[in-house]
Chain A
Amino acid sequence: NAGVTQTPKFQVLKTGQSMTLQCAQDMNHNSMYWYRQDPGMGLRLIYYSASEGTTDKGEVPNGYNVSRLNKREFSLRLESAAPSQTSVYFCASSVSNRESGYTFGSGTRLTVV
Chain B
Amino acid sequence: QVQLVQSGSELKKPGASVKVSCKAAGYTFTTHAMNWVRQAPGQGLEWMGWINTNTGNPTYAQGFTGRFVFSLDTSVSTAYLQIISLKAEDTAVYYCARDLLPFHGGATGFDPWGQGTLVTVSS
A-B complex is real: no
